[in-house]
């Protein structure tokens, strides 16, 4: 297989995930630029890319993002605001099923976390990386990543509890509660699971 074919396969397999990761860090528009530059680096270093390639590519995207932050803080600040807006509003656009409340609560709680916590959680939950792969992306040891992830998950759980589900509509007045039952309506609890690895 030629380098061109290997690159084409790599791009088709990983580009959507690299773009999603970059956009989660700096917003969609700048994320597209970061993704393009990431694959430019991949082309130049095609023979050096380890297997699996995704952690390496995400590490390159992360490093390019850091470089962008150093060189152009103002543009990054605007992109970060856009990313925050996407994170906080994205849940309520398309879903109309029963999971809307849980998704909105989870995204609102996630948006309230630090950027570092969001990155840890999304590398594992949304980008599907294992702890070792995610540690490689962040440039830290597996043990350090595991501790950071554990703490981020605890903070997410507390944030979900603090946000809670939005209350439902007021019930119509009825004949009254049955004896021994609590007459107050209860909103369903958000079903957000934080998976330990």
Tell me: pLDDT of 184 over 60: no
Kindly report the CATH number that applies to the domain delimited by 3-163: 1.20.140.160
| C-beta of residue 189 within 8 angstroms of C-beta of residue 163 | no
Domain coordinates in residue numbering, the chain: 3-163
The pLDDT assigned to 150 comes to 92
Average pLDDT estimate for 155-170: 73
Q: What average pLDDT is seen over the chain?
A: 77
Contact 143, 151 (CB under 8 A): no
Q: Is pLDDT of 167 > 70? A: no
**How would residue 182 be classed by pLDDT, with cut points 50, 70 and 90?**
very low
Does the pLDDT value for residue 36 go beyond 60? yes
Q: What is the pLDDT of residue 155?
A: 92
Q: What is the pLDDT of residue 149?
A: 92
State pLDDT tens for residues 64-122.
Answer: 988 887 766 555 455 566 666 655 554 444 444 445 667 777 788 888 889 889 888 88
**43 vs 9, 14, 23, CA distance in Å?**
12, 13, 21
Alpha helix ranges (H) inside 72-189:
73-89, 100-111, 115-125, 131-138, 142-163
pTM assigned to the model: 0.56
Whole-angstrom Cα distance, residue 186 to residue 125? 29
């Amino acid at each position: 297989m030629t380098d061109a074919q290997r690159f084409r396969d790599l791009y088709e397999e990983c580009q959507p995930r690299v773009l999603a990761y970059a956009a989660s860090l700096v917003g969609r528009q700048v994320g597209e630029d970061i993704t393009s530059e990431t694959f430019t680096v991949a082309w130049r270093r095609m023979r050096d890319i380890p297997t699996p390639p995704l952690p390496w590519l995400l590490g390159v995207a992360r490093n390019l993002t850091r470089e962008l932050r150093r060189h152009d803080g103002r543009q990054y600040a605007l992109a970060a605001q856009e990313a925050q807006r996407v994170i906080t509003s994205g849940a309520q656009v398309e879903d109309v099923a029963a999971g809307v409340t849980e998704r909105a609560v989870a995204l609102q709680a996630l948006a309230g976390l630090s950027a570092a916590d969001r990155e840890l959680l999304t590398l594992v939950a949304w980008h599907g990386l294992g702890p070792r792969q995610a540690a490689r992306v962040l440039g830290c040891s597996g043990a350090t990543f595991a501790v950071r992830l554990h703490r981020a998950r605890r903070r997410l759980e507390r944030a979900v509890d603090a946000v809670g589900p939005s209350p439902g509509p007021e019930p119509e007045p009825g004949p009254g509660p049955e004896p021994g039952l609590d007459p107050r309506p209860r909103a369903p609890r958000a079903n957000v699971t934080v998976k330990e690895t």
